[in-house]
């Protein structure tokens, strides 16, 4: 693979937009990314759209609105990993020399469309209640039992991410919440309260990938890709330990190997905090702290802006929001802003290496169905 | 891109399977392809699943059933071009050297799930009736007006494809129909009668792509890929001529250039006969006959098995059936069987070069939203 760069980014504010079409959201994000890259729509040679909930040929419907037509366009679905998977496909196409310039789009409208990820009809355990909140809640209870993780430690993750979200004009929630508010909010799946679960929302994010040649138009603007991975389909039955993600660990190791570095090199990380326990376990999966010490890691403020690794400076899924297909792309957008030093009030000083991580979907037998770990650097 | 081969194929019979899950259909096709390639599931390094109608993480749900887990799996949606687009992604991944072996899966369950492609809510013309049958009907009327194409010529395409389907044990319909039966069947969208429209059905098809090294395990079995294309998003407003497909013509030219040949080299072609007029226009789009002469081409039996180019020897969408995401992959399966000389009673004698072609989706402003033209050879 040759060098590939992110040369432009853009996104909508995430939120509830009952009066907007998918096309409206996607168009706004794509125009922002094109403008940021200072490219004409005619220069885009391929498009990849990650989405779950927006009907057929979503990428074509959106890209025609910005004048991008007559090229190879592929819609990608991988549940919450959809945006990251679209990125991976675009990375391969540009990296192998097929194209010099591709647009990656992530978009979803969850509000008013049922919102959640329903279990498949043939998934008996899912129908009986083993949905995502239930699975995460079991993981939380097990982590508390095994490692003494506390309710307060879990809740601190929500406090941190809501605090970061206040600094992000693109976040769905821009309101701080206290430890007490998190703990006393409505119980969703014991021990996870409402403010420990990501919201339902809509939004779009877009970015433009370019070859080295393309990156030279504005070298200070371009952020290089150090690693991309998509990994799928670990059997739940071969991973009965709810407190770790074998697949995420494997993907992280693949990413570190591609990049030629390790967890100590990561300055910022946008990771999959669909529920607070998710972020806590991913500290361990990604190697930011040893297994079992995720609770202490947040308590000692090591994942804050200014800590060892700034985790979810954007506010994460908990505060920036989580329109499924858009999330993976929005993570890249945030990392690019951070690495360029353009993240405003939430800027992580001197950030040079950033990671994104998503996990997507789960059936009673697969968990997670899909995950992705990626590294960008300048 | 290095050499890439199809080294294994398999499919279910297409039909209506109200009692089977998507996983049942997909599993059958994947097991057949693995068996045909004489590969263990553990040797598969990546998976690509084309689907439209089967819910989230379909590829993961199916591939775990055959023991393919822990690898990169990507679900692709491009309406009727979904299977072909999954093939294209797998081709790029193997062709660029990322993987030596990938499984491509196409699956859909249309029966009982609404079946048709509904217009998007924001597509006013679609809601008012400009759906796919209506669009194809307008194209038929225009072709008749411009070039003197007759109702009988259109109907002959259905007669041919149903005759071919009788010879294909995997076809949804295995029953011949006469010219009179086609013409007198119920009117769907004037002048297109019921037997000129593809049926609603379910099914799955799978194939395995391998590098040159992989192909050497069974060289006589391996069929080489000569060209792959996916092209999307032609504005309807810039192509007001309903009797030709600018995008399909462009994709075909790209494919001929990649392959280093032309229409005269194609022995068999599996193309997108969602409606009879589709096949007729594609004779012209793909260069099998000059513009306007599609009617004469079928009348002079040039597209029959034994003619200049055997078009849809499988029975095509009209008779083999059209579960959206499965169709593109099933076309490759048929071409591989034909090029290996394994197509039984419908074998095209001495076939050496085969083409597949799909078009997918359409909004009032894009038509088609996606298309794909591919060439295989031995």
Dist. CA A106–CA A104, nearest whole Å? 7
Question: How close, in Å, is residue B36 to chain A by CA atoms?
Answer: 23
Question: What is the pLDDT at residue A308?
Answer: 98
| Cross-chain Cβ contact B92/A85 below 8 Å | no
Burial class for A253, CB neighbours closer than 10 Å (0-12, 13-18, 19+): middle
Label residue B121 by pLDDT band (50, 70, 90): low
pLDDT at residue number A254: 98
Point out which residues pair with A187 in neighbouring strands.
A193
Read out DSSP for B117-149? Answer: -PPPTT-HHHHTT-SHHHHHHHHHHHHHHHH--
Q: Which residues, numbered 147 to 166 in chain B, qualify as contacts with chain A under a Cβ-Cβ cut-off of 8 Å?
A: none
| Percent of chain A predicted with pLDDT > 70 | 93
* pLDDT for residue A129: 74
Q: Would you say residue B147 has pLDDT above 90?
A: yes
Catalytic residue list contains A371: no
- Quick check: B57 and A235 CB within 8 A? no
> Helices A324-340 and A82-95, interaxial angle, to 10°?
60
Residue B131, pLDDT score: 79
Distance of CA A68 to the CA centre of its chain: 25
Among A80, A101, A289, A371, which one carries the catalytic annotation? A80
Please give the average per-residue pLDDT across B282-290, as a whole number: 98
d(CA A242, CA A245): 7
Residue ranges, chain A, pLDDT below 70:
113-123, 233-239, 362-368
For residue B220, count other CB atoms closer than 10 A to its CB.
7
Residues from chain B contacting residue A229 (CB–CB below 8 Å): 72
Q: Return the residue of B nearest to A72 by Cα.
A: B231
Q: What is the pLDDT of residue A115?
A: 55
What are the tens digits of pLDDT across the range B150-200? 999 999 999 999 999 999 999 999 999 999 999 999 999 999 999 999 999
- CB proximity A174 to B under 8 Å: no
Strand B46-50 relative to strand B101-109: parallel, antiparallel, unpaired?
A: parallel
Q: Looking at the complex, does the CB of residue A253 fall below 8 Å from at least one CB of chain B?
A: no
Q: How many contacts (CB atoms, under 8 Å) link A and B?
A: 167
Per-residue confidence at B368, pLDDT binned at 50, 70, 90?
A: low
Dihedral class, residue B45 (left if φ above 0, else alpha if ψ from -120 to 50, else beta): alpha
- B207 and B332 in contact (C-beta within 8 Å)? yes
Higher pLDDT, B365 or B199: B199
Length reported for chain B? 378
Write down the pLDDT at residue A275.
96
Q: Which of B30, B49, B80, B269 is catalytic?
A: B80
Query: Cis omega before residue B137 (within 30°)?
Result: no
The helix (run of H) or strand (run of E) holding residue B205 is strand B202-211
Phi-psi region of A114 (alpha: psi -120 to 50; beta: other; left: phi over 0): left
A272 is known as an active-site residue? no
| Whether B74 and A68 lie within 8 Å, measured CB to CB | no
Degrees (nearest 5) of the Cα angle B55, B57, B62?
Answer: 95
pLDDT for the residue A279 = 97
At residue A180, the pLDDT reads 98
> Would you call B98 an interface residue with chain A, using a CB distance cutoff of 8 Å?
yes
Q: Which helix (H) or strand (E) holds B58?
A: helix B58-63
Shortest Cα–Cα distance, B27 to chain A (Å) = 15
Contacts of B279 (CB under 8 A, 6+ apart): B157, B161, B271, B272, B273, B298, B303, B311, B312, B316, B318
**A264-278, B216-230, B297-311, B357-371: least confident range:** B357-371
Residue B54: predicted pLDDT: 86
Contact A23 B122 (CB under 8 A): yes
pLDDT of residue B239: 57
ipTM of the complex: 0.95
pLDDT of residue B371: 94
Higher-pLDDT residue of A260, B112: A260
Q: In this predicted structure, what is the pLDDT of residue B244?
A: 86
Indicate the average pLDDT of chain B: 93
Domains of chain A, earliest start first:
4-113+201-224 (3.40.47.10), 124-198+228-377 (3.40.47.10)
| Pairing label, strands B231-232, B370-377 | antiparallel
C-alpha span between A164 and A304 (Å, rounded): 9
Average pLDDT on B31-45 reads: 97
Q: Give the best residue of A114, A227, A233 to mutate against chain B (max B CB count within 10 A).
A: A233
Cβ atoms of B304 and B283 within 8 Å: the answer is: no
Contact B57 A70 (CB under 8 A): no
Q: Is B310 helix (H, G, I), strand (E, B) or coil?
A: strand
Residue B170: how many CA atoms within 13 Å on its side-chain side? 29
What is the pLDDT confidence band of residue B132, given thresholds at 50, 70 and 90?
Answer: confident
A76–chain B nearest CA distance, Å: 5
């Amino acid at each position: 693979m040759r060098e590939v760069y992110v040369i432009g980014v853009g996104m909508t504010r995430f939120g509830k937009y009952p009066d907007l079409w998918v096309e409206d959201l996607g168009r706004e994000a794509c125009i922002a990314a094109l403008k940021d890259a200072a490219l004409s729509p005619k220069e885009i040679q391929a498009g990849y759209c990650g989405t779950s909930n927006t009907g057929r040929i979503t990428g074509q419907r959106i890209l025609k609105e910005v004048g991008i037509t007559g090229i190879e366009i592929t819609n990608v679905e991988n549940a919450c990993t959809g945006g990251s998977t679209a990125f991976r496909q675009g990375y391969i196409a540009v990296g192998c020399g097929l194209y010099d310039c591709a647009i990656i789009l992530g978009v979803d409208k969850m509000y008013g469309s049922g919102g959640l990820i329903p279990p498949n009809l043939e998934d008996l355990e899912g129908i009986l209640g083993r949905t995502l909140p239930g699975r995460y809640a079991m993981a939380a209870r097990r982590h508390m039992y095994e490692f003494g993780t506390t309710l307060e430690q879990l809740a601190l993750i929500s406090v941190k991410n809501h605090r970061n979200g206040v600094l992000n004009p693109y976040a769905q929630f821009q309101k701080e919440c206290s430890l007490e508010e998190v703990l006393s909010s409505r119980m969703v799946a014991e021990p996870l309260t409402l403010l420990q679960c990501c919201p339902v929302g809509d939004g779009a994010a877009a970015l433009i990938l370019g070859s080295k040649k393309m990156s030279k138009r504005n070298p200070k603007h371009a952020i290089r890709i150090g690693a991309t991975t998509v990994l799928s389909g670990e059997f739940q039955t071969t991973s009965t330990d709810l407190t770790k993600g074998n697949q995420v660990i494997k993907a992280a190791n693949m990413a570190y190997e591609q990049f030629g570095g390790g967890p100590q090199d990561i300055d910022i990380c946008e990771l999959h905090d669909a529920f607070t326990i998710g972020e806590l376990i991913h500290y361990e999966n990604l190697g930011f702290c040893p297994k079992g010490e995720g609770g202490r890691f947040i308590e000692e403020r090591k994942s804050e802006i200014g800590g060892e690794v700034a985790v979810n400076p954007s506010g994460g899924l908990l505060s920036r929001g989580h329109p499924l297909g858009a999330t993976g792309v929005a993570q890249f957008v945030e990392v690019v802003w951070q690495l360029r030093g353009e993240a405003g009030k939430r800027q992580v000083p001197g950030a040079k290496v950033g990671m994104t991580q998503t996990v997507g979907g789960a059936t009673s037998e697969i968990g997670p169905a899909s995950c992705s770990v990626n590294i960008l650097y300048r």
